[in-house]
Amino acid sequence: MKTPDHRGIGMTSPRTRLRMVDKLRQEGIRDEAVLGVMADIPRHIFVDEALAHRAYENVALPLGFGQTISQPYIVGRMTELVRSGQALDKVLEIGTGCAYQTCILSKLAREVYSIERISGLLDKARQHLRELRIMNVRLKHGDGHLGIPEAAPFDAIMMTAAASHVPQPLLDQLKIGGKLVLPLGTQDQYLYMIERTTEGFTETKLEAVKFVPLLSGTA
Ligand code: SAH
């Protein structure tokens, strides 16, 4: 259990969360379903208690094992992109981390699969899902380059670590009409949205971003 201060008034209150969502709206996040979920999910339980007071600032924060929880703007932006204004059926996330993004997705999709390569992070992720009583998420310890062929096809795939190229298995595991949103690049990274059509794939380059790298194998 957290201290009462974590749950009540102050830097971690629902009101603070609404202020964060107002800022996201001003910064251009338009999908009210996404904003509504971000207003509900307490971000501060995902970060170190020492950093809980900064959980609603628009910054990336350390989550241990040298990894970071993405800043709220990018979580909102990527979720808005994969959702495209529609309820999602089956979604795959690569890079569970502390599972903040996973929890957001779980409220907007019927079923979420999420792959993480660091087993210590999966323990934290499991704890957070349990604390929020989220039941429609399946976590997998593995290398996200491979996706999860046995659960495919997916309506949407979101990658939260930067790849140098688009892994072919992920393209293969998209439904027709499905979307893959991912950061690409090593030095300079950009967000890309790839859509599967009946004829093939279309690719849209979006804004510059900064993510930890997608690594190979498990740890
Ligand atoms: N979505 C996360 C962000 C975590 S940072 C959150 O909201 O907290 C990116 C994560 O991708 C890290 O946890 C890192 O370990 C993971 N990662 C990097 N390469 C990976 C790979 N090949 N497969 C699965 N996860 C990977």
Q: How far is the CA of 199 from the centre of ligand 1 (A)?
A: 31
CA distance 118 to 123: 9
CATH 3.40.50.150 fits 10-209, yes or no: yes
* For ligand 1, atom 13: residue with the closest CA: 97
CA distance 158 to 81: 9
Place of tokens 């007071």: 53
Q: Could you read off the pLDDT of 65-113 as tens digits, one per residue? A: 989 999 999 999 999 999 999 999 999 999 999 999 999 999 999 999 9
Place of tokens 């907007």: 108
As a whole number, the mean pLDDT across the chain is 94
CA distance 170 to 149: 9
Task: Answer whether the bond into residue 153 is a cis peptide, omega within 30°.
Answer: yes
Can you give the pLDDT at residue 5?
44
Q: How far is the CA of 140 from the centre of ligand 1 (A)?
A: 12
Q: Quick one: which of 131, 130, 127, 137 has its CA closest to 104?
A: 137
CA distance 183 to 60: 15
Active-site position among 70, 106, 114, 119: 70
- What average pLDDT does range 188-193 have in this prediction? 97
Beta bridge partners, 113, equal 92, 138
Which amino acid type is present at position 120?
G
DSSP single-letter state for residue 60: -
Beta strands of 150-219 (E only): which ranges? 154-159, 174-184, 189-196, 201-209
Cβ pair 139, 125 in contact under 8 A: yes
CA distance 155 to 43: 26
Close Cβ partners of 170 (under 8 Å, ≥ 6 residues apart): 92, 94, 145, 147, 157, 159, 180
Spell out the domain ranges in the chain. Answer: 10-209
pLDDT confidence tier of residue 49, bands split at 50, 70 and 90? confident
Does 12 contact ligand 1 (Cβ within 6 A)? Answer: no
Pocket test for ligand 1, best of 159, 160, 164 (most atoms within 8 A of CB): 160
Can you give the pLDDT at residue 11?
78
Cβ pair 206, 191 in contact under 8 A: yes
CA distance 187 to 99: 26
* For ligand 1, atom 10: residue with the closest CA: 95
pTM of the model: 0.94
Cβ pair 45, 98 in contact under 8 A: no
Which amino acid type is present at position 49?
E
Q: Could you read off the pLDDT of 136-180 as tens digits, one per residue? A: 999 999 999 999 999 999 999 999 999 999 999 999 999 999 999
